[in-house]
A and B are shown apart, each in its own frame.
Chain A
């Protein structure tokens, strides 16, 4: 199970967390990541409107032959984007676990300002400890 990277977007679509788990990836500049996050947020909103089925959520999975993106949107509007290899099972288990780590080590941290970029050492540490053994 190979996870390539994880992005977390806040309610307004701004990027608050980004991390790679695979060395061979093409690295974008930090500005490009912000643009990517904003674009995704917009696309997600559009897809939830143009869907022919009433009451559907936005974009959930984007798959190509090189990678697969899964978007997990929480009830509060925070989006977790997991980039993984294609044909990867059980991504939603990973999504839920990352959300759990977010709720624990970011939300319960008194030094974290809501909707601001995540700079919590414990969150990084726990995330790496969870993802690295799976690579």
Chain B
């Protein structure tokens, strides 16, 4: 907190004054921010933080399935403590995925580079999700993309065996729950981010061939359908 004695007011927030706000501005004082205990950012000996890394550095890196499984399991247990019903639990998982989807979408578009195209058509953005997003997250593209026959505003993204559910056995009394609600949140964020407002939910569909088949039901708002009709 020695900066408060300085006659100069720093232009950008200094990590030693604002707690928990990450910034790449090096502190004006000589002491390291971690000693002051207010910022959670880790600084290497070269005074660089995670925000100084190149965005493409982790493009080809992979995460162990076990690490993700343990983290995801804890996320579900954490959410379960705070809610009372299955709908609320799915909603909580959806919100957790939503935050990730918003940031992931920006990153994926940045990584596409010069050839990145802003998707304005429904089929275009759904293809982006089924191919690019899915490949980034799970290393495989989605297993199917269908349009509902009964409702004009519903589309279905099919995954025969969602990787996030691979180690999870839902007890009989909660058989309605599908933890892929987390992935549904990611998809919803990407769609909302490209201005296709919608609701995405995950449903388990039993089939002989694929006992863990999950269908992501995407229900678009009226405005999307109207726009699609005009662009037709």
Contact = CB atoms under 8 A, between A and B. Distances in A.
B174 A108 contact: no
A104 interface: yes
Interface in A100-120: 104-105, 108-112, 119-120
A40 to B, nearest CB: 27
A14 B66 CA distance: 27
B167 interface: yes
Contact of A123 (B70, B76, B169, B179): B169
A118 B120 CA distance: 49
B170 A111 contact: yes
A121 interface: yes
Contact of A105 (B74, B76, B169): B169
A122 interface: yes
B147 to A, nearest CB: 32
Contacts of B113: none
B167 A108 contact: yes
A121 B169 contact: yes
B69 A111 contact: no
B7 interface: no
B73 interface: yes
Main secondary structure of the interface of A (DSSP, over half): loop
B29 interface: no
Contact of A111 (B66, B70, B72, B169): B169
Contacts of B76: 110-111
Contacts of B66: 108
B207 to A, nearest CB: 16
A112 B73 CA distance: 10
Interface string B171-207: 1001000010000000000000000000000000000
Interface of A: 104-105, 108-112, 119-123
Given A110-B74, A111-B170, 6 more contacts: A105-B169, A108-B70, A108-B168, A109-B169, A110-B76, A111-B168
23 contacts: A104-B167, A105-B167, A105-B169, A108-B69, A108-B70, A108-B73, A108-B167, A108-B168, A109-B73, A109-B167, A109-B168, A110-B72, A110-B74, A110-B76, A110-B77, A110-B168, A110-B179, A111-B76, A111-B168, A112-B169, A120-B169, A122-B167, A122-B169
